[in-house]
Structure 1
Amino acid sequence: MKRQCIFLLLFFSITMAPLQAQDRVTGRAFATRSEVIAQNGMACTSHPLATQVALDILKAGGSAIDAAIAANATLGLMEPTGCGVGGDLFAIVWDAGSGQLYGLNGSGRSPKSLTLDYFKKEGMDKIPALGPLPVSVPGAVDGWFELHGKFGKLPMKEVLQPAIAYAEQGFPVTELIAYYLGRSVPYYIRQGFPNVAETYTIDGANPPQKGDIFKNPALANTYKALAAGGRDAFYKGEIARVIADFIQEQGGFLSYDDLAAHRSEWVEPVSVNYRGYDVWELPPNGQGIAALQLLNLLEGYDLKSMGFGSPEYIHHFVEAKKVAFEDRARYYADMDFYDVPLDTLLSKEYAAARRALINPNYAGRYSAGEISAGETIYLTVADQFGNMISLIQSNYRGMGSGMVPPGLGFMLQDRGELFSLQEGQANTYEPGKRPFHTIIPAFVTKDGKPFLSFGVMGGDFQPQGHAQIIINMIDFGMSLQEAGDAPRIDHSGGSSPTGQTDESRGEVHLESGLPYETIRQLMRMGHQVGFANGIYGGYQAILYDAEKKVYYGASESRKDGHAAGY
């Protein structure tokens, strides 16, 4: 087996061409394009048409928040493999008027009638990934209306109209989304889940191919109801009754009362200072503070001298990730149910103590620190008024639970899968509780002023991706686009907030473009090295240059989208 792994590594190192700039005369060899630079507004999304929708809203006088909602609604139609109104939402907003950051936790809670005893009686040690049981209250729609109520300028009817028009008239499906639809939709159909074929195929059997014109009139009607009736049309009207009745018919517990009681929560973003830059994330139930813990740990090393892509840098990054993620497994949970020791987890003193565990020469195993205490889309938009929004939205596991309520045009999320069923843990299942969340938006300020709005989608990879973007820019001097195009590092393994433990050192996945000499040295340091497709997330970012008064936009070469400004 060991010889086979070594052979595969040699094969991949020879056959996989590195990311390169195709004879560009400027920038790093792995950069795919230049940054987009504009004065009045910028939008970066994972779908070109969603980016154009956001720009149209900005040009019509809308705020960055209006444009982000419009883009998110469009993505829910065009990229149902990553998001939709059946899922949750998180956002960080820079409000130019007040000169401060706002955080919104738009995640939903578990059904109040579903208890831990139910899972015990059914003999389950893990919540299923699909079906009615992992469905929690979808929070995205309430998140839209909370954001719009505080920062919107245009009426919601105007904000949702582009997505409604595309849903009714159709749009051509892009390459990557067609690929994921081709993998996901037939699987859900084979599982016998109702309404999937009617919603996500053209002929009742086959998902759309690249370039096919796809329509979703049922989703258009749902959006029209929201435009006319506001968030209550979703949580207290006919839509809520259809959702609740359908889930209970399928053997689930989500009720009309669960939906009617839902509320988003405005929260204070939290930060650490990394080499003079304040990096902001949202507090749990999300995993954003793992990125901050990672940066605190790595600030103690001279990463610049190690060099990007060196075995020394990758080793220290992976070890810091393993340390931070053990804390993630033990302490991250809904703060309404568990007293998360935020101050300690984010302190420089705690980072120094945890950093001392890392062997600079060999891969290790770690446990959580002892503290006394109780598929996804990402987009970012900036406007002519100086407002910026960092927004992430997802159903989890790509399209979600497989539960498509009849006539509504969307699938419900399966975030409830991320609860632990082991008693006494921070993230143990309880009725009315928000599950541990992987999706996280990020923001950076410098000297109290907005500097960078960004995110990297991709499950457990997201905190690792956030930290790598910051390190690429601050330590390695990369541009906004280069920081996202650079070959990425992903470590899998270790303990999980769902209660699973892993005594191994895990596996390091390296994107193509890193030299075999680096791979060989990492193996000598005790790392298991592997390769994988599609696990490195998707990146969008906007940087504000206060001196030149321009926005820089960067998008994800691993996705279908782009950045655009005016």
Structure 2
Amino acid sequence: MSKHKGIVACGHPVTANAAAAILDEGGNAFDAALAAMCAACVAEPVLASLGGGGFLLARPTGGRFANRPIVFDFFPQTPKSRRPLDDIEFYPVLADFGPAQQEFHIGMGAIATPGAVRGLFEVHRHMGRLPLRRIVQPAVDLARTGVAMNPLQAYFLAIVAPIFRSTTESEAVFASPERPGALIGEGEALRLRRFADALEVLAIEGDDLFYRGEIAQAISADCRARGGHLTPDDLADYAVALREPLAAEAFSSRLLLNPPPSNGGLLIAFSLELLRDAQLSASAFGSAAHVGSLVRVMAATNRARLEQALHRLPANAAAEAFLSPALVDAYRNHLLGRPWATRGTTHISVIDAAGNAAALSLTNGEGSGYIAPNTDIMLNNVLGEEDINPHGVHAWPRDARLSSMLAPTIALGRDGSLTVLGSGGSNRLRTAILQVLLNLLAFELPVEQAVTAPRIHLEAETLSVEPGFGEGAAALLRRHGADVAFWNEHNMFFGGVHTVRMERSGAMIGAGDPRRGGIAQLV
């Protein structure tokens, strides 16, 4: 048992304060994670919204699920019917990250059935200790009094400004209070009074207000009139799925990962299996052996994902098939035997004094531009994200839980340690989490150093590299067969892995990833 009440790591000090307040009042890790989720919708409005969805990986020490890890899957669901492409509002916008650009699709036709509100209530029903009204109160207060946009949040908003300007409703919600015609900027306070009202009423009336009641009726009516797919049945029938985590062994730790139908955890497990005999622990961080292994494994994982048509494997068989020893050995032998020349999300990690652990990843995509009436809640654009539409945009299966790269992760060390981590960052988050896991487990770096160490990411034929690797490693990277992009500074492009750890002694340490404004707070 720790002498502290808990620890949280997340993407904004205000988000952390909400979790800390709940821990201080006697709430558990799950209460704190839910409070932080709601607060993030105000403090991190580009990355978090109750109009999206996500996952909470729970490792409880008591109650109904005592010592039985469970995943709450409240990721968006595809609609039951698909309107013709020429009958929907669906169009591209370009997000400019500086050295890299990415195209997203928005509009009413990009909205999938949101799961975050139902997830909030379902996690609370199973895991909560404090009343829900108390848990959402920090977010209610923040939404009314306002949260000043810090430099990083203002930067995020500038990247996706075309989305937040795409409707008059969104432009009004996120308008600068001081500069007519501009979006809210650094130092200006974002107030979401209708969001505060909506949270308060939801906490009293329940989640049916969002899925069957007045809010649901308004959303479905707007979709019908303005080119969306969602119907009243899509909202009314949405259900949170409870799943057993995907378990893996690596570097003397037992890992709990997000299971299929989501692919992020499965791909991390595959990468770790490829590295099983790489003897990374015998090399130094940033060495040629380290970065060479990383690039080869990223390439092999990407290739296996495509060649084995991971997106077509049935969810109940995907882990067994994709992690089969024969398949892993085939890719391991291939990559070791050849020469080496060849997306908006936030995360919250919480541990409390009793050892309860919550890893919560939340996404709204980049947002659709549509604001649910009288709520200040922007709905997602998940149907427009290529990363999670492997069948092709507008070719999604009807009434199905979409796959996701979100990968909330828990590591249980043989030394008695408990580590919780996860990341935002679209398709890049799995390589970010993989590298932090290796830093912690293989290289045994301190938590803060493991999180802030430089990263690489291989996507298609482009290898992106953060500064900070030694000259020997950098020279090796330059010889890579793909295009190599050396970044001038650490960037949100490489994810934001917010991490907390409890040692066997009860000592708690944590690190928020500065790439995404991260902070760790001990209570």
Taking structure 2 as the reference length, the TM-score comes to 0.89
Corresponding position of 1:73: 38
Q: Distance in 2 between matches of 1:553 and 1:263?
A: 33
Alpha carbons of structure 1 residues 449 and 237: separation in structure 2 relative to 1, 3 Å: farther
Q: 2-side partners of 1:232 and 1:297: how far apart?
A: 45
Q: 1:440 aligns with which of 407, 419, 434?
A: 407
1:353 aligns to 2:330 (yes or no):
yes
* Corresponding position of 1:181: 157
Contact 2:265 2:407 in 1 (8 A): yes
Q: Deviations over 1:427-483 (max 9, x none)?
A: 962110122212220111135966111112211111111211111122212011110
Q: Is the 8 A contact 1:128 1:134 kept in 2?
A: no
Q: 2:75 is matched with which residue?
A: 107
| Cα distance in 1, alignment partners of residues 301 and 120 from structure 2 | 32
Is residue 395 of structure 2 the alignment partner of residue 395 of structure 1? no
Task: Identify the residue that residue 408 of structure 1 maps to in structure 2.
Answer: 375
Deviation (angstroms), 1:59: 1.1
| Partner SS state of residue 552, structure 1 | strand
When residues 539 and 233 of structure 1 are mapped into structure 2, their CA distance, relative to the original with a 3 A threshold, is same
Shift of 1:165: 1.0
Counterpart pick for 2:54 among 85, 89, 96: 89
Query: Does the residue aligned with 1:129 lie in a helix, a strand or coil?
Result: strand
Q: Are 1:161 and 2:129 an aligned pair?
A: no
Kindly provide the CA deviation profile for residues 497-522 of structure 1, in whole angstroms up to 9, marking residues without a partner as x. xxxxxxxxx12111111134322223
Look up the match of 1:25.
none
Corresponding letter in the other structure for 1:137: T
Counterpart AA for 1:242: A
Matches within 5 A, 1:129-168: 129-168=105-144
Secondary structure at the residue paired with 2:435? helix
| Matched letter for residue 341 of structure 1 | A
Residue identity matched to 2:249: N
After the TM superposition, which of the residue ranges 550-559 and 517-526 deviates more from structure 2?
517-526
Tell me whether 1:472 sits opposite 2:449 in the alignment.
no
- The alpha carbon displacement at 1:41 in A equals 0.8
- Conserved? CA contact 2:3–2:506, under 8 Å: no
Hey, what's the Cα distance between the residues in 1 that align with 2:51 and 2:470? 42
Match of 2:277 among 297, 300, 305: 300
Q: Distance in 2 between matches of 1:121 and 1:140?
A: 27
Q: 2:15 aligns with which of 40, 47, 50?
A: 50
Partner SS for 2:110: coil
Once residues 113 and 107 of structure 1 are traced to their aligned partners in structure 2, the CA distance between those partners, rounded to angstroms, is 18
Quick one: distance in 2 between partners of 1:537 and 1:455?
9
SS in 2 for 1:558: helix
CA separation of 1:338/1:267 partners in 2, compared to 1, >3 Å: closer, same or farther?
closer
Task: Give how far 1:56 is off.
Answer: 0.8
The amino acid that maps onto 2:257 is: E
Alpha-carbon spacing, 1:474–1:391, altered in 2? closer, same or farther (3 Å)? same
Give the Cα–Cα distance (whole angstroms) in 1 for the partners of residues 235 and 484 of structure 2: 45
Matches within 5 A, 1:235-246: 235-246=211-222
Instruction: Pick the aligned partner of 2:28 from 63, 68, 84.
Output: 63
- 1:419 is matched with 389
| Unmatched segments (≥5 aa) in structure 2 | 93-102
Contact 1:248-1:255 at 8 Å conserved across structures: yes
1:317 is aligned, of 284, 287, 294, to 294
Contact 1:487–1:512, Cα closer than 8 Å, also in 2? yes
Segment of structure 1 superposing worse, 234-243 or 278-287: 278-287
Q: How far 1:354 moved relative to its partner? A: 1.3
> Please, which of 255, 261, 265 is the counterpart of residue 279 of structure 1?
255
Contact conserved, 1:38 with 1:552, CA < 8 A, in 2? no
Task: Give the match's secondary structure for 1:96.
Answer: coil
CA contact (8 A) 1:272 1:346 kept: no
By how many angstroms is 1:61 displaced?
Answer: 1.1
* 1:319 alignment partner, SS class: helix
Counterpart for residue 466 of structure 2: 511
Q: 2:3 & 2:444 partners in 1: Cα distance?
A: 22
Structure 1 position 194 matched with structure 2 position 183? no
In structure 1, the residue matched to 2:519 is 562
Q: Aligned to 1:488, which of 455, 465, 480? A: 455
Q: Which amino acid aligns with 1:316?
A: S
- Distance in 2 between the 1:530 and 1:454 partners? 27
Q: In 1, Cα distance between the equivalents of 2:127 and 2:417?
A: 17
The one-letter code of the counterpart of 1:530 is A
| Helix, strand or coil at the partner of 1:83 | coil
1:364, CA displacement in angstroms? 6.5
2-side partners of 1:476 and 1:155: how far apart?
A: 42
Q: Contact conserved, 2:79 with 2:398, CA < 8 A, in 1?
A: yes
Instruction: Specify the code of the residue in structure 2 equivalent to 1:200.
Output: F
Q: What is the deviation of 1:44?
A: 1.2
C-alpha RMSD of the superposition: 2.6
1:62–1:153 CA contact under 8 A, matched in 2: yes
Deviation at 1:121, TM superposition (A): 10
Alignment partner, residue 431 of structure 1 = 398
Q: Write out per-residue CA displacement over residues 237-278 of structure 1, whole angstroms, 9 at most, x where no aligned residue.
A: 111111112222221111111000000100000121112211
SS at match of 1:378: strand
| Counterpart contact for 2:18–2:36, Cα < 8 Å | yes
Q: In the alignment, which of 500, 510, 523 is matched to residue 553 of structure 1?
A: 510
Aligned partners of 2:361 and 2:423 also within 8 Å: no
* In 2, Cα distance between equivalents of 1:255 and 1:150: 28
SS class of match (1:341): helix
TM-score normalised by L of structure 1: 0.82
The verdict on how the C-alpha distance between 1:235 and 1:332 changes in structure 2, with shifts beyond 3 A counting, is farther
**Is the CA contact 1:168–1:215 (under 8 Å) kept in the aligned structure 2?**
yes
The verdict on how the C-alpha distance between 1:343 and 1:382 changes in structure 2, with shifts beyond 3 A counting, is same
Counterpart Cα distance in 2 of 1:488 and 1:59: 35
SS at structure 1 position matched to 2:423: strand
Q: Given residue 465 of structure 2, which amino acid in structure 1 is its aligned partner?
A: L
Residue 209 of structure 1, CA deviation:
2.1
Count of residue correspondences = 497
Alignment deviations for residues 395-448 of structure 1 (CA, whole Å, 9 cap, x no partner): 113xx122222322021111122324469xxx9621101222122201111359
Q: 1: CA distance between counterparts of 2:160 and 2:412?
A: 39
Aligned equivalents of 1:306, 1:45: Cα separation in 2? 31
2:476 maps to a residue whose letter is Q
Shift of the 406–545 alpha-carbon distance from structure 1 to 2, 3 Å rule, reads: same
Contact 1:108/1:137 (8 A) holds in 2: yes
Q: Which residues of structure 1 form unaligned runs of 5+?
A: 1-36, 366-374, 494-505
1:170-199, Cα deviation, whole Å (9 max, x unpaired): 1221110011223323x13554x2311111
Q: What secondary structure sits across from 1:484 in the alignment?
A: helix
C-alpha change, 1:448 and 1:523, in structure 2 (3 Å) is: closer
SS in structure 1 opposite 2:472?
A: helix
